[in-house]
Amino acid sequence: MSQSLAKKTAAAFVEKFGYEPTGVWSAPGRVNLIGEHTDYNEGFVFPLAINRRTYTAFGKRSDGVFRVATSFSDQTHQVLLSEISAGQNYDWAAYPFGMAWAVIQKAKAAGLEVDLSAGFDCFIDSDVPVGAGLSSSAAIECAVGVAINELWNLNLDDRTLAQAGQLGENEIVGAPTGIMDQSASMLGQLDHAVFLDCRTLETQAIELGFAAAGLELLIIDTRVAHRLVDGGYAERRAACERGAELLGASSLRDVSEADLTRAREIMDDVTFRRVRHVVTENQRVLDTIKTLREKGPAAIGRLMYQSHQSMRDDFEISIDELDTAVETALAHGAIGARMTGGGFGGAAIALTPIEKISEVTLAVLAEFENLGYATPNIFSVSAADGAAREQLI
Ligand code: GLA
């Protein structure tokens, strides 16, 4: 399937631009197993890259223009590489343009020469669902990043490219997101999740062993689109910063569960609950990794559900559709379930014994129909490798 989408992207490039691309690069979407809204608090996250990818076919130009086209919009956009800047309306092209701009910044910071008179044509295709909280945007950024890095011979490492993705998204797209999504998309590994310390940016690939334990990771995409540029995400981030400041900490990473008693006394209830989510969620990431190592994946379900409850009640980023997906999946055999990603829509995950997959799927579909919700998109994912050049055969 991936080979065919890679080839389809190359063929679409030829049709659009009239010449053969130099190559095709790809990067995966991600789901976060646990560790939500902890990344911008310098905390811990534990996402995995998934077997849904974005493909970019690239060809070189010699006039400094970056031109992008895609299968999911009729609009082709172009810009002079030297003129990409914040505050413009680039539409969907803000993701590839933002990444190009950020790679230029990272290269300059590393003292590298970037030849801005060389430009690119780029065609993008993807099977990462958009708006589902599966980081379709990070997948675009990373697939563009690895391509440009190679075509400009920059040799920036994966971690720097992940940082570039975040920089482009913060500055050019205008979404104040953390480093998790791009790190997962760059550093993912087959059958592993990425344990990332968002303060030191140290990472460790940790084997999941889902298949060996007879488990599958089910995605329940509610089809309620979530948007990180809307106010909710930024508002949560601001509350975390306010809470840390009131506690005299540089970030919530430095706040422990023992500090929560004092936190409750010195701040308003809403800020306190935002703080409690982040502090307890950091601990749940560490507990999940310990449990996974000592007892295997079938034992992490309780932590996943506690994470969901914390996001529902303390961080208040869940919605009825996500709660319904989680409760129904658990009632029909999933061993753990939670909403994943930024919240306010998007997807839930349900770690489910293989023999219960169809029961859970049918039960969630039936419950959504009962409640008059849109039909959810339900499918399994597995942990995949990070961004790379495609070998077309
Ligand atoms: C979005 C952001 C990430 C992270 C998650 C919440 O996916 O892009 O940086 O903050 O939300 O964990």
pLDDT at 393: 73
For a pocket test of ligand 1, which of 31, 38, 39, 163 has the largest count of ligand atoms closer than 8 A to its C-beta?
Answer: 39
Q: Under CATH, which architecture does the 2-208+384-389 domain have?
A: 2-Layer Sandwich (3.30)
pLDDT at 1: 47
pLDDT number for residue 2: 61
pLDDT digits (tens, 9 = 90+) for 352-377: 999 999 999 999 999 999 999 999 99
Contact 314 CB / ligand 1 (< 6 Å): no
Whether residue 181 lies in the annotated active site:
yes
DSSP letter at 172? I
Average model confidence (pLDDT) across the chain: 96
Choice among 181, 191, 259, 320 that is catalytic: 181
First-to-last C-alpha distance (Å) of the chain: 13
CB 44 within 8 A of CB 196: yes
- How far is it, in rounded angstroms, from Cα 44 to Cα 201? 10
Listed in order, strand segments (DSSP E) in the chain are: 23-34, 44-61, 65-70, 73-80, 119-126, 192-197, 203-207, 215-221, 336-339, 347-353, 377-381, 388-389
Ligand 1 neighbour 30 (Cβ under 6 A): no
CA 357 – CA 382 distance, rounded (Å): 14
Which regions in the chain score pLDDT beneath 50?
1
pLDDT digits (tens, 9 = 90+) for 14-70: 999 999 999 999 999 999 999 999 999 999 999 999 999 999 999 999 999 999 999
pLDDT tens sequence across 99-115? 999 999 999 999 999 99
Q: How far, in Å, are 178, 196, 268, 272, 314 from residue 239 at the CA level?
A: 15, 23, 11, 9, 12
What distance in angstroms lies between residue 11's CA and the mean position of ligand 1's atoms? 33
Q: Whose CA is nearest to atom 5 of ligand 1?
A: 342
Confidence (pLDDT) at 229 = 56
How far, in Å, from the CA of 340 to the mean position of ligand 1? 9
Question: Which pTM was predicted?
Answer: 0.95
- Could you tell me the residue ranges of all domains in the chain? 2-208+384-389
Ligand 1 atom at minimum distance from 138 CA: 8
141 lines ligand 1 (CB under 6 A): no
Instruction: Tell whether ligand 1 has an atom less than 6 A from the beta carbon of residue 42.
Output: no
Question: In angstroms, what is the span from residue 149 Cα to ligand 1's centroid?
Answer: 24
Q: Nearest CA to 305 among 318, 293, 294?
A: 318
Rounded to the nearest whole angstrom, what is the distance from the C-alpha of residue 114 to the centroid of ligand 1? Answer: 30
DSSP string, 341-368: SS-SSSEEEEEEEGGGHHHHHHHHHHHH
